[in-house]
Amino acid sequence: MGDNKCKDGNSTLLHGKYELGRLLGHGTFAKVYHARNLKSGKSVAMKVVGKEKVIKVGMMEQIKREISVMKMVQHPNIVELHEVMASKSKIYFAMELVRGGELFSRIAKGRLREDVARVYFQQLISAIDFCHSRGVYHRDLKPENLLLDEEGNLKVTDFGLSAFTEHLKQDGLLHTTCGTPAYVAPEVIGKKGYDGAKADLWSCGVILYVLLAGFLPFQDDNIVAMYRKIYRGDFKCPPWFSSEARRLITKLLDPNPMTRITIAKIMDSSWFKKSAPKSILTKEEQEFQEYEKSPFKQSETLNAFHIISLSEG
C-alpha cells in the first residue's frame, strides 16, 4: 500500500482517513472527487494531481504555490483548503466541497438579471480585495474558476496561476504572461510588466460583462484581432445594460491600467452599493436545494459511497 490508497469492499480509502466517491470534475492536471472524512463524516472535494505529469511539464513549483496561496487566503468567498496529503505518485488536496457547480454553467443557461449579477460581483470583489490585501494576485479569473455553493454563494478557486508580492521584479511589476485570452488584461499581453491587482480587476470587468450580457466583450475567431480589440478596449455594451452598469464596466475595462478603477472606487460606485435581491437562486435551484436536504437524498448519498470504486487514474 505504498500509495496510501486501498480498496475496502467497494469503496476506496485514502490514508485510512477519507473514503473516495464519484468524480466531480477534472481540469488539465487534476481530477476532483467527492470524498468523506471517516472521522467527522464531513464531505470534501478531493483534488488529485499526478506527480509524474506535473513534473514532466515543470509545474511542480506552480502546485507548491497553489498550496501556499490557498493556505493564506481564508475567506467566505474562496474555496477553503483543509489539508494536503501526498503519496509516491499523487498529491491530494482535501478542499471545501462546493456543490452548486461553476458560475460558467449558470451563464450557459442565459444572461443574469442585473440584481443577481451584482450579488456575484460583490462577492467576487470581496474575495479579490482580500487576496490583494494579502499580496496575492489570482491571474486567471474567469467564470470557470468561480464555483457556487448550495445557497448560491460564489467561491473563487484554482489558484494554480496565482502570484505573490515576492514575485514582483525590480520594477515592482509581474512579468509572466498567463491567464485565459478572453479575460486577460491588455498590459499582460503587452509583456512590459504589469500590476497583478489591476490585471485581476480587468478580468473582473470581463466577468461582470459576461454575467450581464451572456457573451464576451472581446471576441474574434482570430486571436490577434481579439488581442487588438483588448488593447484598444474596443467593446460595446448591449442596450439592456443600465447606465450605472455601463459606467462601471467602462471604468473596469479601461485599457490604461494607470487610470483603471480601483477596488475602493468600485465599492463606492452606485451600482455596486445597491442591496441584494431576496433570493439569487432560480426556482429549479431552490427545488434542488430542498431535495438535497431531504432525508431521501441523504440516504441515497451514503449508498453512493459504497457502490462507487475508484481506479487510479
Rule CB under 6 A: which residues touch ligand ATP?
24-30, 32, 45, 47, 79, 95-98, 102, 147, 157-158, 160
Q: Taking a C-beta distance cutoff of 8 angstroms, is the pair 45, 97 a contact?
A: yes
Name which of 95, 106, 80 is nearest 30 in CA terms.
95
DSSP codes of every residue in 131-151 = HHHTTEE----SGGGEEE-TT
Least separation, in Å, of the C-beta of 101 and ligand ATP?
7
Query: Which grid cell sits at 193?
Result: 510588466
Catalytic residue (choose from 115, 129, 140, 171)? 140
Decide whether 66 or 254 has the Cβ nearer to ligand ATP: 66
Q: What is the DSSP letter of 214?
A: S
Q: What is the DSSP letter of 194?
A: B
Decide whether 33 or 235 has the Cβ nearer to ligand ATP: 33
Least separation, in Å, of the C-beta of 212 and ligand ATP?
23
Which residue number places its CB atom closest to ligand ATP?
27
Least separation, in Å, of the C-beta of 114 and ligand ATP?
26
Q: Which stretches of 96-182 are DSSP H helices? A: 103-108, 114-133
- The values of phi and psi at residue 14, to 5°, are -120, 120
140 assigned to active site: yes
Decide whether 159 or 209 has the Cβ nearer to ligand ATP: 159
SS3 call for 277: coil
Hey, which bits of 171-242 come out as E strands? Answer: none
Decide whether 70 or 204 has the Cβ nearer to ligand ATP: 70
Angle separating helix axes 114-133 and 196-213, nearest 10 degrees: 170
Cα–Cα distance measured from residue 74 to residue 290, given in angstroms and rounded to the nearest whole number = 28
Residue 267: CB atoms within 10 Å: 13
Decide whether 38 or 57 has the Cβ nearer to ligand ATP: 57
SS3 call for 18: strand
Q: What is the DSSP letter of 261?
A: P
Decide whether 12 or 157 has the Cβ nearer to ligand ATP: 157
Cα distances (angstroms) measured from residue 13 to each of 3, 35, 52, 206, 311: 11, 9, 22, 42, 12
Least separation, in Å, of the C-beta of 247 and ligand ATP?
32
Least separation, in Å, of the C-beta of 120 and ligand ATP?
17
Q: Which amino acids are annotated catalytic?
A: 140
